[in-house]
Amino acid sequence: MIDVKGVSVFPEALDAAEQAALVDKLRGVAQVAPLFAPETRFGKKMSVRMTSAGSCGWVSDRRGYRYEPTHPSGQDWPGIPDLLLEIWRAVVPEARPPDTALVNFYGDGAKMGMHQDRDEADFTQPVVSISLGDEALFRVGGTERGGKTESCWLRSGDVVVIGGAARLAYHGIDRVKHGSSMLLPQGGRINVTMRVVT
């Protein structure tokens, strides 16, 4: 385990077969709930495309950031695949079950600015993140914007557990090395974060 400012990174926690099986499940999710590029509250489109599974999903538009019970199309979000729920139970057995799995897709040039995840109600519950495909430079700071940060590369099969004080840490993805992994034939990176929302 690698500790990045209180965030626990488990390199290659998932083997190649598990990674491929997860990609397959996530293709199924995106078939029901297509990826979309959320708009920030300032009306600027994000470079990362997203979708969700579970009883709610994260959306963003000019009305702000929030969890909604349906996809922007009006369709219910698909259920969280069992394979994801099994990983949650294996890595955070003491936590409540997740309400949502947020799926982020990074194509060539996509990145995510420094932010806090604070649209959830209970910050005592952890977030579990799974990286698939191309490697990404992940940056973590403290709970105040503009503080000291540390970076590490997240690679396909890495699992990250965010709990305790790190739950409200600023974090982001500076860049993705497009084509660095063979997992996705067209390249790109998928990150799934499971969260307790209510």
End-to-end CA distance of the chain: 29
Contact string (CB under 6 A) for ligand MD3, positions 83-122, x = contact: -------------------x-x-------x----x-----
- What Rg do the C-alpha atoms of the chain give, in angstroms? 15
The phi, psi pair for 150, rounded to 5°, reads -130, 150
- For ligand MD3, the closer CB: 129 or 156: 129
Contact string (CB under 5 A) for Fe ion, positions 66-105, x = contact: ----------------------------------------
Q: Could you say which of 50, 57, 110, 117 contacts Fe ion (CB under 5 A)? A: 117
Write the CB contacts of 29 (distance below 8 Å, at least 6 apart in sequence).
51, 53, 78, 81, 101, 103
Q: Could you say which of 19, 100, 125, 129 contacts ligand MD3 (CB under 6 A)? A: 129
Count Cβ atoms below 10 Å from residue 169 Cβ, excluding itself: 22
Contact string (CB under 6 A) for ligand MD3, positions 158-177, x = contact: --x-x---xx-x-x-x----
The position carrying tokens 């990150």 is: 191
Task: List interacting residues with Fe ion (CB under 5 A).
Answer: 117
